[in-house]
Amino acid sequence: MKITARFNIHAATIATALCIFNSPPVTTAQTFENGGKLLLTRGVSTVGGAAGGGIVPWALIAGNETDRGIGGAASATYIDLPDYTVHSVSASAGFYNRFELSYAHQVLNTGDTGTALGIGQGAEFKQDIIGAKVRVLGDAVFDQDKWLPQMAVGLTYKSADQSALLGALGAENSDGVEAYVSATKIILSESLLLSGTLRYTDANQNGLLGFGGQNAPSLNPEVSLGYMVSRRLLIGGEYRVKPDNLAFAEEDDWLDIFAAYAINDNMTATVAYADLGSIATFDEQRGLYLSLQLGF
């Protein structure tokens, strides 16, 4: 079954949408519009706050807005692992489907593992993430007759607490900047979403354990693949290559298998099986990923 049928959009509706998206820039208050994107084509909020999948940013811009409006999203995420828990809250804003700003606050709770690590029961590692992303080329939805994907470039600034402890663990800094470029292609006729990201970073465990160590910053690929089961349900998987900078603990790549369901135009729930590998000498950190997003 083609995705166009699942979205229940007939030719007249698509033609109207194309006229909206290709109209001249906003010049008066009367032409400003809220909403307009197809369900799930804004992505969901990643653990870092940017629009994308659960662990990989996509070239899509946060919010439901078209090029005539401003939108946004807020989310809460919880990851339950054998020896740790991770939770984050985030907010993002999208401007005219062109520019995105995001913020996320992450917490890694060590629980009983903190005692084994010698840092105390329930010790926490926290970080704040500020991000910006700009769409520089293409449109993932409306460029169906072109091979070129939607492309975006992004920057994130991450600042972790516990700087003294992170230094003792081998991190060079408690804060750092990452840069990435993402390319995302939605193939409506095949119900597919394909996305790739190349990230320049030296973050340890996404920045929660600081930045740098025994290796220089490096380029790390990240990929996502999704299949639209219906207009409301997207299933897929992601793989994220990670740096390995800390001498005391090996860091593994991340992967997940997810299902994102659009409950309505403003609410999306994501459930995933996440494999985060080894974290601070504790291996096989695999568990349940849950996220709820509100968007407008």
Whether the predicted pLDDT of 265 surpasses 50:
yes
Q: What is the pLDDT of residue 42?
A: 85
State the pLDDT confidence band at 36, using cuts at 50, 70 and 90: confident
Q: What is the pLDDT of residue 38?
A: 84
Percent of the chain with pLDDT over 90: 82
Q: Do residues 171 and 210 lie in contact, with contact meaning Cβ atoms separated by under 8 Å?
A: yes
CA–CA separation, 199 and 42 (whole Å): 20
Q: What is the pLDDT of residue 31?
A: 58
Question: Of 19-33, 35-49, 53-67, 225-239, where does mean pLDDT reach its minimum?
Answer: 19-33
Q: What is the pLDDT of residue 164?
A: 92
Burial call 148-181: b when 16+ CB within 10 Å, e when fewer: ebbbbebebebbbebeebbeebbbebbbbebebb
Burial call 49-64: b when 16+ CB within 10 Å, e when fewer: bbbbbbbbbbbbbbbb
For 52-98, what is each residue's pLDDT tens digit?
999 999 999 999 998 889 999 999 999 999 999 999 999 999 999 99
- Give just the sign of the alpha carbon dihedral 84, 215, 104, 265: negative
Contacts of 30 (CB under 8 A, 6+ apart): none
Residue 11's alpha-carbon distances to 8, 189, 192, in angstroms, are 10, 14, 20
- Residue located via tokens 């290559």: 241
Q: What is the mean pLDDT of residues 200-224?
A: 95
The DSSP line for 115-134 is HHHTS-TT-EEEEEEEEEEE
State the pLDDT confidence band at 125, using cuts at 50, 70 and 90: very high
Whether the predicted pLDDT of 7 surpasses 80:
no
Whether the predicted pLDDT of 14 surpasses 90:
no
Whether the predicted pLDDT of 28 surpasses 60:
no
The more confident residue out of 6 and 96 is 96
Q: What is the pLDDT of residue 34?
A: 67
Strand 150-160 vs strand 124-137: parallel, antiparallel, or unpaired?
Answer: antiparallel
Whether the predicted pLDDT of 43 surpasses 70:
yes
Q: What is the pLDDT of residue 41?
A: 87
CA–CA separation, 171 and 160 (whole Å): 11
CA–CA separation, 208 and 159 (whole Å): 8
Whether the predicted pLDDT of 142 surpasses 70:
yes
- How far does the chain reach from its first CA to its final CA, in angstroms? 29
- Residue located via tokens 């349900």: 233
Q: Do residues 76 and 87 lie in contact, with contact meaning Cβ atoms separated by under 8 Å?
A: yes
Closest CA to 127 of 169, 100, 157: 157
Q: What is the mean pLDDT of residues 216-243?
A: 96
Q: Do residues 268 and 44 lie in contact, with contact meaning Cβ atoms separated by under 8 Å?
A: yes
Percent of the chain with pLDDT over 70: 89
Whether the predicted pLDDT of 40 surpasses 60:
yes
State the pLDDT confidence band at 17, using cuts at 50, 70 and 90: very low
What does the chain come to in residues?
296
The domains of the chain, with CATH numbers, are 3-295 (2.40.160.40)
Whether the predicted pLDDT of 173 surpasses 60:
yes
State the pLDDT confidence band at 13, using cuts at 50, 70 and 90: very low
Give the pair of three-digit tokens for residue 226: 């999704």
